[in-house]
Structures are given as structure tokens and as C-alpha cells.
Structure 1
Amino acid sequence: MAKKSKLGFAFTIQSGPRAGLTSGPWRAWTSKEDTYVTSVSLGGTWKISLHGDAAWRIAVTAEHMRQERPVWPKGIDRAPWKFSPTQFHEGRRLAFVIAASRGSLIPGALSDKDIHISVEDRWDLITMAQMWMTEPGVEIPGTWRVVGDALKLASGRRVWIIKETQHVPGDKEEQIAAGIMSEPMLPGTHDVSAPGILLRGVHVQESTGSRAVSDT
């Protein structure tokens, strides 16, 4: 049986005048045949759970729901986003993606314990941490940009974090965001082949005496 293994990572600009802007730390770990992902900034409230080949979901944690005033109504399904496991092709499958827009990066504490996924200081790129699962004995191609060590599952499968980038329209620079919003992206609902989360910047604007919130 595989022991619990973990990997901490963050999206971070590592050079130039805006070096240090970051998504804050994320955590991925495995236990038995399950894979979990969460952000430290979520404070133990929300968690992505990929349970074997059965139940994949984004849900409020059971621990949080036991609090006196949870963020989610009690008595309602605490997993509002559920999705089917992706299929293996040649022993590999893209299971989940954390994607950071340039506008989602904000000042934050940096830890030497985390692997910092380098983000270019440009507005026409999305930087992704792709979570790939491989069957026992199947390797990741040598040209793929692997982040840290593979996480192990009880079956002998492994979970890898792979850095990837994607060009997006627009190159207009924006102000530094006040916070970060996590937007679920689901196959069948969005133009994606695997479930994931897109990190966007949240901006608070003063407007006629009231405060308006926008995201980018």
C-alpha cells in the first residue's frame, strides 16, 4: 500500500520588477487510491477530491461543515461540482488542471518548502499545473516539464504535476488584484478536456459611494 505523499507548489513571477507576485501555496497529496488538491488560502474550507475511478468532485470539507457557521448551508450536498473521471490513453490521463491567469498573482509570503512554478510577467499567457495520472510502469515523456516528484497511489499508479502554458487573447496590463477567485472549469460546460480551476484576480472598485467587485 502506498504511503501518503504530498507536493506543495505556487505560481510565482521569479524575475523582473514584479518578482514575488504569487498565487499563494497549493497542496496536492495522495492517500491510498485518492488524490486531493487544495489551496492554503482556502483555509481548509474547499477541497478537490479525485476518489479512484469513481467520485471526482470539488466540495466543502467535512471538517469545515462541522463548524458552527460553515460557508455552505447544512443539509445541502456539500459537493456542488461533480465530474466523471477522465479516460486513460496510452497509460496516461489528464485528471485535473490548476490554471493561473497573470492577473491573479498578488503579493504574498513565499516559502522555500513550495516549488515555485515560474510565471512570465505577460498578459497573453495562462500558466497551468496539469495533474496527470499514469498506470503502473508508464513514464512521462522526457520533454514534459515535471514539477517535483510523482505522488504514488496504492495501485501503483502515479500522479504528476506538469507545467504547461497557453496563449490567450489580450495583452493589456492591469492593476494588482485585491484577491484571488477560483472558478471551476468542467468538461461539457466549458471548453476544456479535463476538470480544473481557473484562478482570476478580484478587483474592488469605488463607484458612487459603493464598492463594486470585478474579476479578470
Structure 2
Amino acid sequence: MDDDLLGRWGVQVARWAARDETALAAQTTRAYAAGGRARQDLFRTGGLAPGGFGGGLAVVLPALLDALAYAADAVKAALGSQQFANTIAATALLVGLRAQRGTGQEPPAPDRTSDAADAGGWSRGASPPSGEAVRAAFDMCRRLRARGVDAALAEELAAELTARLLNSGRRDDIASFLDALVANEPPVPGTPTVLPRQSPLRRLAGAASGLLHRRGAAGTGPAGSGGARDETDDV
């Protein structure tokens, strides 16, 4: 498991979509990638209140990492197929996701440009999203909703994170991060299990304990540094 790679990109994902969680993002990402009990402990929650992050959910980063892992193949396909002379706008992806929610249709075929272009959902200087980009955002959104995130919020998070990844200019590094995220344990398909509620502090402590136990058994020693840094987009 590439701890440095996981830590750097975990912090970056938090900066993009869960800024309040950057301080523990590296540890959270390593715990998710470790799989097993360490991953399960990240999802001990009492559920979500309708329309937002209420209820028992104190953090969103584990759900974002899970959505990324679930959509890893689609994200890598989008990274490998883009004609990115211009940037992809999150607003265009959001238009496409909301249009599909309204119709119940699947995303466009990979060889087509998204219908979001026809809806005028992109900004000047940005390319309309490809079918691969919309598929990646759609898969992330579907997983977030399966984790209990409100539909509108799931669409916003998926659109923002997909656009950020595709516009980062670090395709190979992102692909390596996604591979590392799922190497030990691919995400379970279907609807994830929601475990009994646990406080955020105990949840992270349990995840860290499971990760340290796993690393100790492998003879790799304690987890290294890799917490949040102040710079934006510094991966």
C-alpha cells in the first residue's frame, strides 16, 4: 500500500469536497484503503437527516472515498479518453446528473457527448462533458446516495470531485491513487451496510487502530506522517 500517495490524494480530495476534514484526511484515506475493520469503522453512523449531513454523519470524506473506489474504473476511463484542451465544468456535469435524475435514464454512451451540452450547462472556456465523464460522475453519485447522502448534495459532490480530478492534469498519479485505494479490498457492490452509530472520535480511533494492527502484522511499523497541508492542489 502506497501510504504517501494515499495520504497526499486523500488530503486533496478533502480540500476539494470536504474542507473541514483535511486534518485527518490522510489517516482516513489510509484506513479506507486498508479495508477490513479499519474501513468498516469509518462508516459507523446513525444515518442521515433528510436533505443534508444531519443525523449521525459527522464526516463525509469516507463516503467520498468509497464513491471514488466504486467509480474507479469509470474515472480512469474518463481520464484516458479526454480531449482536454479546455476544462470540464462541474456545472455541466451537475446539469447532466440532475437531468438523468429527472428522467431516470442512464448516462449517455461513452462515444457520445453528454446531453448537458444541449442544455447549455457549461461555462465559457470549458468543454461539454464527455460520456465517460458523465458516467464517472453518475457512478460516484449513485454510490453516495447508497451511503445515505441526499440526492441533490450527492450530485453536487460527484460533479465537483469528477471535474476536479479530470482537470488536475495528473492522470497517471490519479490512476495510481485509485488503484491503491482498492488494491487491498475492492468496494462491495450494491447497497453498502450502515453500521451502528459511533462518535466521530471513536470512529477514527477504531479505524486507526485497525490500520495499525494490519500494518504491524505485516511488519511495516507505525503509520508515517502525511497530514493536511496548507497548500491547495499540492499533490
TM-score bucket (shorter structure): under 0.3
**TM norm structure 1:** 0.26
User: Which structure shows the bigger proportion of residues in strand conformation?
Assistant: 1
Which structure exhibits the higher relative contact order, with contacts defined as CA atoms closer than 8 Å and separated by 6 or more residues? 2
